Protein backbone atom coordinates (compact mmCIF):
# COMPACT_ATOMS: atom_id res chain seq x y z
CA UNK A 1 0.00 0.00 0.00
CA UNK A 2 1.35 3.41 -0.96
CA UNK A 3 2.04 6.01 1.68
CA UNK A 4 -0.52 8.79 1.89
CA UNK A 5 0.24 12.38 2.74
CA UNK A 6 -2.00 15.01 4.25
CA UNK A 7 -2.08 18.36 2.49
CA UNK A 8 -3.63 21.36 4.21
CA UNK A 9 -4.49 24.41 2.09
CA UNK A 10 -6.06 27.67 3.20
CA UNK A 11 -8.46 29.74 1.07
CA UNK A 12 -9.99 33.22 1.43
CA UNK A 13 -13.44 32.08 0.24
CA UNK A 14 -15.64 29.01 0.20
CA UNK A 15 -16.00 29.37 -3.57
CA UNK A 16 -12.26 29.02 -4.16
CA UNK A 17 -12.00 26.13 -1.71
CA UNK A 18 -14.92 24.33 -3.40
CA UNK A 19 -13.36 24.89 -6.84
CA UNK A 20 -10.09 23.39 -5.61
CA UNK A 21 -11.94 20.39 -4.18
CA UNK A 22 -13.72 19.92 -7.51
CA UNK A 23 -10.44 20.16 -9.43
CA UNK A 24 -8.89 17.54 -7.15
CA UNK A 25 -11.89 15.26 -7.73
CA UNK A 26 -11.59 15.74 -11.51
CA UNK A 27 -7.99 14.52 -11.19
CA UNK A 28 -9.19 11.45 -9.27
CA UNK A 29 -8.22 12.74 -5.82
CA UNK A 30 -11.54 12.53 -4.01
CA UNK A 31 -10.53 12.37 -0.34
CA UNK A 32 -10.86 16.08 0.48
CA UNK A 33 -12.90 18.14 2.91
CA UNK A 34 -13.52 21.90 3.22
CA UNK A 35 -14.13 23.53 6.60
CA UNK A 36 -14.88 27.08 7.71
CA UNK A 37 -12.38 28.20 10.33
CA UNK A 38 -13.88 29.66 13.48
CA UNK A 39 -12.48 31.26 16.57
CA UNK A 40 -15.56 30.16 18.48
CA UNK A 41 -16.54 26.75 19.79
CA UNK A 42 -19.93 26.63 18.10
CA UNK A 43 -21.79 24.17 15.94
CA UNK A 44 -21.51 25.26 12.33
CA UNK A 45 -24.38 25.02 9.89
CA UNK A 46 -23.30 25.79 6.33
CA UNK A 47 -26.92 25.62 5.14
CA UNK A 48 -27.45 29.00 6.75
CA UNK A 49 -24.85 30.69 4.52
CA UNK A 50 -27.71 31.77 2.34
CA UNK A 51 -27.91 35.03 0.37
CA UNK A 52 -31.69 35.06 0.83
CA UNK A 53 -31.02 35.48 4.56
CA UNK A 54 -33.06 32.63 6.00
CA UNK A 55 -31.02 32.88 9.18
CA UNK A 56 -32.82 33.77 12.38
CA UNK A 57 -29.76 35.36 13.95
CA UNK A 58 -26.92 37.58 12.72
CA UNK A 59 -24.37 34.92 13.56
CA UNK A 60 -26.41 32.25 11.80
CA UNK A 61 -26.07 34.21 8.56
CA UNK A 62 -22.45 35.29 8.82
CA UNK A 63 -20.51 32.82 10.95
CA UNK A 64 -22.24 29.56 10.03
CA UNK A 65 -23.31 29.13 13.64
CA UNK A 66 -26.18 26.83 14.50
CA UNK A 67 -28.63 29.68 13.77
CA UNK A 68 -30.27 29.17 17.12
CA UNK A 69 -31.28 32.18 19.21
CA UNK A 70 -30.50 30.00 22.22
CA UNK A 71 -26.87 29.26 21.21
CA UNK A 72 -24.91 28.95 24.46
CA UNK A 73 -25.99 32.30 25.88
CA UNK A 74 -26.67 35.89 24.87
CA UNK A 75 -23.07 36.94 25.56
CA UNK A 76 -21.73 34.37 23.11
CA UNK A 77 -24.06 35.58 20.37
CA UNK A 78 -23.14 39.22 20.98
CA UNK A 79 -19.41 38.46 20.81
CA UNK A 80 -19.83 36.39 17.66
CA UNK A 81 -21.92 39.12 16.01
CA UNK A 82 -19.31 41.77 16.89
CA UNK A 83 -16.44 39.74 15.47
CA UNK A 84 -14.62 41.45 12.55
CA UNK A 85 -15.16 38.36 10.40
CA UNK A 86 -18.89 39.19 10.26
CA UNK A 87 -18.19 42.14 7.95
CA UNK A 88 -15.98 40.13 5.61
CA UNK A 89 -13.03 42.46 6.21
CA UNK A 90 -11.10 39.70 7.90
CA UNK A 91 -11.07 37.05 5.19
CA UNK A 92 -7.26 37.15 5.24
CA UNK A 93 -4.81 37.54 8.10
CA UNK A 94 -7.31 37.47 10.93
CA UNK A 95 -6.08 35.27 13.78
CA UNK A 96 -7.29 32.06 12.15
CA UNK A 97 -5.37 28.91 11.36
CA UNK A 98 -3.54 29.64 8.14
CA UNK A 99 -4.73 33.25 8.23
CA UNK A 100 -7.64 32.49 5.89
CA UNK A 101 -11.29 31.73 6.51
CA UNK A 102 -11.51 28.30 4.82
CA UNK A 103 -9.32 25.22 5.04
CA UNK A 104 -9.21 22.27 2.65
CA UNK A 105 -7.65 19.04 3.90
CA UNK A 106 -6.88 16.26 1.46
CA UNK A 107 -5.14 12.90 1.63
CA UNK A 108 -3.16 11.89 -1.44
CA UNK A 109 -0.79 9.08 -2.42
CA UNK A 110 2.85 10.05 -2.11
CA UNK A 111 3.44 9.86 -5.86
CA UNK A 112 0.63 12.38 -6.55
CA UNK A 113 1.50 14.91 -3.86
CA UNK A 114 3.15 17.44 -6.22
CA UNK A 115 0.18 17.24 -8.59
CA UNK A 116 -2.27 17.91 -5.75
CA UNK A 117 -0.25 20.86 -4.43
CA UNK A 118 -0.17 22.36 -7.94
CA UNK A 119 -3.95 22.01 -8.27
CA UNK A 120 -4.52 23.66 -4.90
CA UNK A 121 -2.22 26.59 -5.70
CA UNK A 122 -3.78 27.06 -9.16
CA UNK A 123 -7.13 27.47 -7.42
CA UNK A 124 -5.92 30.15 -5.01
CA UNK A 125 -4.90 27.97 -2.09
CA UNK A 126 -2.00 28.64 0.21
CA UNK A 127 -0.32 25.33 1.02
Q: If you average pLDDT over residues 84-110, what whole number do you get?
A: 73
Please state the pTM of the whole predicted model. 0.63
Domain boundaries, the chain: 4-122
How is residue 63 annotated by DSSP?
Answer: S
41 vs 26, more confident: 26
pLDDT at 113 over 90: yes
Mean pLDDT in the chain? 76
Percent of the chain with pLDDT over 90: 39
CB 16 within 8 A of CB 111: no
pLDDT at 22: 97
pLDDT at 84 over 90: no
In the chain, DSSP assigns E strands to 4-11, 32-36, 102-109
Reduced to 3 states, what is the DSSP secondary structure of residue 65? coil
pLDDT tens sequence across 4-40 = 999 999 988 889 999 999 999 999 999 999 987 766 6
Q: Where would I find the H helices in the chain?
A: 14-26, 58-62, 74-82, 113-122
Amino acid sequence: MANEHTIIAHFPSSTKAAAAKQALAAAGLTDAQVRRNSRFGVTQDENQDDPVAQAETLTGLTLFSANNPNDANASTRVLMGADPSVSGFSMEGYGLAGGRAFTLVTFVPEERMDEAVTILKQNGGEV
